[in-house]
Amino acid sequence: KERIIRRELDFTDGDRIPTEGLKERIKKNEEKLVNTSLFQVVKISLVEINNDRVDVIIRLVERWYIFPIPVLELADRNFNDWWKNQNADFSRIEWGLKLYLYNMRGRNETLRLQGQFGFTKRFKISYEFPYIDKKQRFGLGFMFDYKQNKNTYYRTEDNILVFLDSDHWLREQYIGDVSTTYRKGFYSIHKFGASYYNTEANDTIVELNPNYFGEEGKTRQRFFSLYYSFVNDKRDVAAYPLHGSYFVGSISKNGLGIYDDINNVQLSALYYKYIDIGKHFYLTGNVGGQYLTPTDQPYNVYNRMGIGRFTLRGYELYVIEGPLFLQNQWTFKKLLFKIDKNLSSAIPIRSLSRFYLALYAKTYFDLGYIEGYPNNELNRRLTDQLLYSGGFGVDLVTIYDLVLRFEYTFNKQAESGFVFGFRGVF
């Protein structure tokens, strides 16, 4: 819908705007449209009518919006964790089907469906409405997620997750979530939400780890959660930014007194800065951390570095547990080559006719600190000390936000090795 496009523009019909800085302003508007993830190509042109009047022409090539994706992925956190800690066990591959429908009804709404089997049986549905009011400020989202595990981790030893396999289910979880968003301007989004968690564990799990749910013999955990998050996103291209900034912060209260299973508060913040040095050289830095209080918590809700947003490169094999962790990361990179071709003459489907490929060489250095849990004696080796790591590698960036990482890392513990990772629209 045209109003979804106009929502991202900082000008409209009849506006009078200064010619000074107009080129940069047009580029910013192109970037905002690209970051909706609706379009492969965005081009805004000005056609002069007379000395002080122009027509604005916006040319767009839409993305492909329907993705039926076969699920063939690892049950583990990353490739290196599977390769070394799980001995490249192919039985740990999950299989199923995901169906992502972007831009539903032409309103940038998103429907996600997932059916998965293997170690984890999973059924998930979510729907996101970015705007439900005429001024396009308020949004709404719903999610339901069901998971049943025949393979799950139940404790951590020397910062490595210990798994248990079974022919029967070991862990079952239901999650429901409803949220609303508020976006008054272009770059900031406020999100408020409420969730319900209902988790059951097999008797074997709680026997092997009496603190799994925080109380010996307890096999069920239920709690409600309220959360708020704030995002300020000024990146040029969200999929692989080269200049701009990004901040995300959140606070959640888990346990509202309805059940006594959980009672904690979690704070999290992370800030990125992207700098274009010139001559195709770029510098990226981030600083942030996470804090969970009080420290006396069940094992299954521990704060963990290595799962989610906070990860130190060079420590991909480990999960480091603690109520407080901090990180600081720097990456210096150089564009080696970039190919951006229109193949519409050979491929008639416009949303699939763009060929994009870019290769960046990089080097990086990470710092981190994790305060260990006072009763977590099996996992002291990497806590309560300054950790550091570094390495070099390449990033391969292509269409639909797909980024492949190939790295060779070193860390404080004199460990080194190759790391492979990827992320994308799926």
Q: What is the pLDDT of residue 167?
A: 80
> Does the bond joining 130 to the residue before it have cis omega, within 30 degrees of 0?
no
Please, which residues bridge with residue 175 across strands?
145, 197
CA 257, CA 312: separation in Å to the nearest integer? 35
Instruction: Calculate the dihedral angle through the C-alpha atoms of 390, 393, 396, 397, rounding to the nearest 10 degrees.
Output: 30
Q: Which residues of 387-399 are buried (b: 16+ CB within 10 A; e: fewer)?
A: bebbbebebebbb
CA angle 178, 72, 240 (to 5 degrees): 65
Chain segment 262-314, per-residue pLDDT in tens: 999 999 999 999 999 999 999 999 999 999 999 999 999 999 999 888 999 99
For the full predicted model, state whether its pTM sits above 0.75.
Answer: yes
Please, which residues bridge with residue 288 across strands?
270, 327
Q: What is the pLDDT of residue 348?
A: 78
* CB contact at 8 A, 420 and 80: yes
3-state SS, residue 121:
strand
Contacts (Cβ under 8 Å, ≥6 apart) of 203: 219
**Residue 62 Cα distances to 33, 43, 367, 421, angstroms:** 11, 12, 40, 27
Kindly give the pairing relationship between strand 320-321 and strand 304-305: antiparallel
Q: What is the pLDDT of residue 73?
A: 65
Q: Which residues of 248-281 are buried (b: 16+ CB within 10 A; e: fewer)?
A: bebebebbeeebebbbbebebebebbbeeeeeee
Kindly give the pairing relationship between strand 160-165 and strand 171-182: unpaired
Q: 203: burial class by Cβ within 10 Å (0-12, 13-18, 19+)?
A: exposed
Q: What is the pLDDT of residue 76?
A: 59
- Please list the helix, strand and coil fractions of the chain in percent, rounded to the nearest 5, in that order: 10, 55, 35
Question: First CA to last CA across the chain, in angstroms?
Answer: 24
Q: 87: burial class by Cβ within 10 Å (0-12, 13-18, 19+)?
A: exposed
Q: What's the sign of the alpha-carbon dihedral 200, 201, 207, 212?
A: negative
Closest-CA residue to 327 (of 288, 273, 363, 370): 288
H or E element in which residue 242 lies: none
Q: Which amino acid is at 367?
A: L
* CB contact at 8 A, 368 and 305: yes
Q: What's the sign of the alpha-carbon dihedral 22, 341, 332, 306?
A: positive
CA 173, CA 157: separation in Å to the nearest integer? 24
Q: What is the pLDDT of residue 97?
A: 82
Low-confidence ranges of the chain (pLDDT < 50): 425-426
Instruction: Calculate the dihedral angle through the C-alpha atoms of 274, 279, 281, 286, rounding to the nearest 10 degrees.
Output: -10
Contacts (Cβ under 8 Å, ≥6 apart) of 407: 313, 364, 391, 392, 393, 418, 419, 420, 421
